[in-house]
Amino acid sequence: MPPQTPSPHDPHTTPDYDQQPFVAPQISGNDPTYKRRLIIWYSTRIVALLVVLGLLVGGGVAAFTALGGHKDKLATQQTSTVDDTASTTQPKTTWQCSDGYTQAPDNETTCIKADVIDAETTYSCPSGYTKYNSGAKTTCQKASGDYKTETVAATLSYACPSGYSRSGNNCSHTSTKAASTSYTCPSGYALSGTKCRRTSTQYTPAIASCPSGYTRYGTSVTAKCTRTITASKSTIKTCPSKYKLASSKKTCSRSVKPIKGKCPSGYKKVSSTKCTRTVKAGTKTVYKCTTSGYSLSGTKCIRTIGPTLKCAAGYTKSGSGTGTLCKKLVTAVITASAKKICSSGYKLSGSTCKKTTTKKVSSYYACPTGYANVGDTCTRTVGGSVKTAKATVKKACPSGYDKTDNGKCRGSSSETIPATQVQTCNEGRELSEDESGTSICVQPDK
């Protein structure tokens, strides 16, 4: 029996809303739960719609951010491109050493000078093979079959490293360089280039001077300045002692009491209690100083003041009063004592520094062509068949030397100096300096 389709008005059946998710169910007043289910249907759809909108908004923001970042990246790349063609760039810095010096293995800013010799090359053969010849001509051979061995005595020979000369059982090498000059100064002097300088303070007495119109007495800080002018002259009337000048200033009078009714000789009795004597007034010339600061001395007026203290050109005044002195800085210059010196390990010879390195001479046995060296004998194989193998080449340095990258052997450094800083610019730019003295690369004017 086929399934029956439920009626939307049947309260005992439930419609399949999941098969029609976006079709709202019809509301029936006969089903008391129908309204609640309808509210649930709308709520779930609204929530789903909000989730979808959130995803869309989030994706848009992410896309916009990515696009913005891409734009920033483009802007950065564009800025980088602009910087690439900017008017100024930073120069490239390298370090270089003077002739005869090499950069220290662990510091490119330091240059060292050391004995450099060729590494000693040794040639060896595989097991079972015999070494023939020497040096780059060395071959390794192994005989088999019907053969016989011929033996002759080897010749003892001696050799020295490249650049060394043999002297008896030793090999010696003398390196030379110009001696440097050392300058020294006596005690109390400071070296300045090739000169010795000593600065000291020189003192001299101050020079005393007087204003115009004054006469100086003495020359040092104790000197005096004196000015003399004529005193004011006048004439006055004078009376003898105990006499009184009359108002007319022509006579002088003196009064005494009578003695027993009588007046002394020369006196005239003017009353019973008074005797008077009158004499002619005398004259006297007097002098006085009317200008302030002057004092009378006879008929002259004199003023005395201290001097003005000055210093000669190049001097400055120090102190005050009688303790005033004049001082200046004096620099004495003499030629420094020159002496030729050498670096450690070198000995002075005239104006040249020499250092001799000595090594023991190397001895080896030499064989005629075609013979192989075995100890102090030389052997060769006659007859049979011969197999040839390639010799193994090794380079080694004598004791006290280090092997370098170019196959040389370098001895211990005898001298160390700073490397020279070299700054270069890319093609099309020139080296210059900015206002602060920093090196920059600029585009030249066209």
The model's pLDDT over 191-227, given as tens digits with 9 standing for 90+, comes to 888 899 999 999 998 888 899 999 998 877 888 999 9
pTM over 0.75: no
Contact (CB, 8 A) for 4 and 11: no
430 band by pLDDT with thresholds 50, 70 and 90: confident
Domain edge (last residue) among 267, 301, 330: 330
Q: Does 284 share its domain with 302?
A: yes
pLDDT at 389: 65
Count of all residues that appear for the chain in the document: 446
302 band by pLDDT with thresholds 50, 70 and 90: very high
Tell which wins on pLDDT, 192 or 74.
192
Calculate what percentage of the chain has a pLDDT beyond 70. Answer: 78
Q: Is residue 93 in a domain?
A: yes
**375 in the Ramachandran plot: left (φ > 0), alpha (ψ -120 to 50) or beta?**
left
Lowest mean pLDDT among 228-232, 325-329, 368-372: 368-372
CA distance 368 to 389: 20
Tokens of 119: 């590494």
Residue that is written with structure tokens 């780059």 in the block? 136
pLDDT of 108 above 60: yes
pLDDT in tens, 255-293: 999 988 899 999 999 898 999 999 999 999 999 999 999
Neighbours of 404 (CB within 10 A): 15
Contact (CB, 8 A) for 26 and 42: no
Mean predicted lDDT score pLDDT of the chain: 78
| Short-list 184, 115, 183, 175, CA closest to 347 | 175
pLDDT in tens, 135-160: 777 778 777 777 777 777 777 778 88
Q: Does 21 share its domain with 70?
A: yes
| Short-list 381, 228, 211, CA closest to 291 | 228
Q: Does 218 share its domain with 291?
A: yes
CA distance 234 to 284: 8
Q: Report the pLDDT averaged over residues 150-179.
A: 83
Q: Does 22 share its domain with 103?
A: no
Q: Does 43 share its domain with 105?
A: no
Tell which wins on pLDDT, 75 or 272.
272
Q: Does 50 share its domain with 106?
A: no
pLDDT at 72: 43
Tell me how many degrees the CA angle 345-349-352 measures, rounded to the nearest 5: 80
Q: Does 211 share its domain with 324?
A: yes
Q: Does 211 share its domain with 309?
A: yes
Q: Is residue 216 in a domain?
A: yes
> What's the number of domains the chain is made of?
3
Q: Is residue 120 in a domain?
A: no
pLDDT at 139: 75
pLDDT at 53: 79
pLDDT at 124: 82
Q: Does 35 share its domain with 71?
A: yes
Tell me how many degrees the CA angle 99-102-108 measures, rounded to the nearest 5: 125
pLDDT of 65 above 80: no
Q: Is residue 260 in a domain?
A: yes
CA distance 338 to 360: 39
pLDDT in tens, 385-416: 666 666 677 777 777 677 776 667 777 665 67
pLDDT at 70: 43
CA 217, 221, 222, 226 dihedral sign is positive
Contact (CB, 8 A) for 283 and 236: yes
Q: Is residue 219 in a domain?
A: yes
Tell which wins on pLDDT, 368 or 71.
368
pLDDT at 294: 93
pLDDT at 169: 81
Q: Does 296 share its domain with 268?
A: yes
Contact (CB, 8 A) for 224 and 216: yes
Q: Does 249 share its domain with 284?
A: yes
Domain edge (last residue) among 302, 330, 358: 330
Q: Is residue 316 in a domain?
A: yes
Tell which wins on pLDDT, 279 or 92.
279
Domain edge (last residue) among 309, 330, 351: 330
CA distance 129 to 387: 9
Tell which wins on pLDDT, 413 or 167.
167
Tell which wins on pLDDT, 48 or 31.
48
pLDDT at 232: 93
Q: Is residue 307 in a domain?
A: yes
Give me the amino acid identity at 155: T
pLDDT at 73: 39
32 band by pLDDT with thresholds 50, 70 and 90: low
Q: Is residue 27 in a domain?
A: yes
Tell which wins on pLDDT, 414 or 341.
341
- Boundaries of domain holding 41: 17-83
Tell which wins on pLDDT, 128 or 405.
128
Lowest mean pLDDT among 79-88, 292-301, 342-351, 366-375: 79-88
CA distance 443 to 88: 7
pLDDT at 6: 42
CA distance 113 to 414: 6
pLDDT of 15 above 50: no
pLDDT of 329 above 70: yes
Q: Does 107 share its domain with 56?
A: no
